[in-house]
Amino acid sequence: MALTLAPGIMASTFAQLRSCGQGRDECVVYWTGPRKAPGAVDSVIKPEHQAGPDWYEIEPAWMTSFFLELRRTGRTARAQVHSHPTSARHSCTDDRYPLAPSPGFYSLVLPSFADGPIGLDDAYLAEVGADGTWLERNPDTEIREAR
């Protein structure tokens, strides 16, 4: 299921990753949307987390409260988006510790602390497959921006 981003989602994602990371630390946000609208993304959520130049970790209590909030509001997280200091790829840590390791969940990695042009140039996208393994996807075909 491809993702359809509401207007402003991509710009907001870059703005939050840049503001938080300050060009020196990684950062992560989650793309969420209504559960009943498959593939729709209309919100960018920045979690409580700690980070350094090549890592991030989510505050455990925040994860519990986030899942409870998604339940309460009828929403779901469809992708995690995080920055890398240099090139974009999926590290072993990215593979093992995603927010939602179930089929259809996406992970988008943006290079250079997201300081490049707003868009998907040089981005890396993966999706959890039916057997639980990560499958590389083409970001240009899997992520669409609504006009």
Partner 1 sequence: MDTAVTRDTVTITYNGNDQVIDYKPDEKVRAVLDRALAEFHVSSNPHLMGLFTEGNVELSDDSTMSSAGVKPGELLVLRQSAVRGGKG
For partner 1, which is the closer residue by CB, 54 or 121? 54
Q: How far is CA 93 from the centre of its chain?
A: 15
Listed residue (90, 96, 88, 83) closest to 126, CA to CA: 90
**Pairwise CA distance, residues 87 & 123, whole Å:** 8
Structure token digits, residue 93: 């840590």
CB of 147 to partner 1, least distance (A): 27
CB of 98 to partner 1, least distance (A): 7
CB of 35 to partner 1, least distance (A): 5
- Bridge partners of residue 50, in order along the sequence: 57
**Pairwise CA distance, residues 23 & 16, whole Å:** 12
Summarize as ranges the residues that interact with partner 1 (CB under 8 A).
26, 28, 35, 51-52, 54-58, 60-61, 63-65, 67-68, 70-71, 73-77, 80, 82, 84-86, 89, 91, 93-94, 96-103, 105, 128, 130-133
For partner 1, which is the closer residue by CB, 55 or 140? 55
CB of 109 to partner 1, least distance (A): 8
For partner 1, which is the closer residue by CB, 86 or 141? 86
For partner 1, which is the closer residue by CB, 22 or 91? 91
- Alpha-carbon distance values, 80 to 17, 108, 147 (Å): 12, 6, 22
